[in-house]
């Protein structure tokens, strides 16, 4: 666990300047400019290290105890730049890809804003559904390993996963 924290801390240091870079939301094209930019993991040159660590964390989270999962969620809460940038390059258009993305969603435990988490979850479910992936069993599986703390007054991560819209 201390090795995980050491790795995350180092990655967080590399990602922090990118995560804290101001975005001028008053410009009409700010979303397009943001989306067209270099992904933070690539800009910081840490994609391979981050994805390798995420593979290890996802496996530990999926097979771990309640305590192991709480520790991983705490690491994501502590190292915010890492948590913000932590992404997987594999698509969520297969059952296993969806499972990995939902486990990462659970590890992030709504991040710093439940509204952003809800939008991300809706996008994941929408794209999985469009690819014909049966999301309900995976949502239930990951919900069972998720936090039930209502951090922002909009429900727990477990609740969000169980209430996710999987049909049109």
User: Per-residue pLDDT for 24 more than 70?
Assistant: no
Segments forming the whole domain that contains residue 110:
90-168
| Measured CA distances, 77 to 46, 60, 97, 112, 115 (Å) | 20, 17, 24, 8, 16
- Let me know whether 52 and 128 are in one domain: no
**The pLDDT of residue 167:** 66
pTM: 0.89
pLDDT average, residue stretch 106-113: 94
Boundary (domain end) residue, out of 53, 69, 89: 89
Report the domain count for the chain: 2
- Let me know whether 53 and 99 are in one domain: no
**The pLDDT of residue 35:** 72
Cβ pair 82, 111 in contact under 8 A: no
- Let me know whether 7 and 74 are in one domain: yes
Question: What is the per-residue pLDDT across 149-159, written as a single tens digit (0 to 9) for each?
Answer: 999 889 999 99
Boundary (domain end) residue, out of 89, 123, 138: 89
- Let me know whether 78 and 104 are in one domain: no
pLDDT average, residue stretch 91-99: 91
Report the C-alpha gap between 21 and 68 in whole angstroms: 32
**The pLDDT of residue 93:** 86
Boundary (domain end) residue, out of 30, 63, 89: 89
């Amino acid at each position: 666990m201390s090795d995980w924290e050491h790795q995350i801390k180092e990655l967080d240091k590399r990602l922090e300047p990118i995560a804290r870079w101001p975005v001028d939301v008053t410009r009409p094209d700010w979303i397009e400019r943001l989306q067209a930019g270099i992904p933070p993991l690539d800009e910081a040159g840490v994609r391979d290290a981050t994805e390798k660590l995420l593979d290890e964390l996802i496996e530990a989270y999926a097979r771990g105890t309640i305590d192991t999962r709480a520790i991983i969620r705490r690491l994501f809460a502590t190292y915010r730049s890492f948590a913000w940038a932590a992404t997987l390059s594999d698509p969520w258009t297969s059952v296993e890809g969806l499972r990995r993305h939902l486990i990462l969603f659970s590890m992030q435990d709504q991040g710093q804003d439940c509204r952003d988490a809800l939008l991300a979850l809706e996008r994941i479910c929408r794209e999985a559904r469009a690819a014909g992936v049966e999301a309900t069993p995976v949502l239930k599986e990951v919900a069972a390993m998720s936090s039930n703390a209502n951090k922002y007054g909009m429900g727990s991560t477990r609740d969000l996963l169980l209430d996710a819209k999987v049909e049109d």
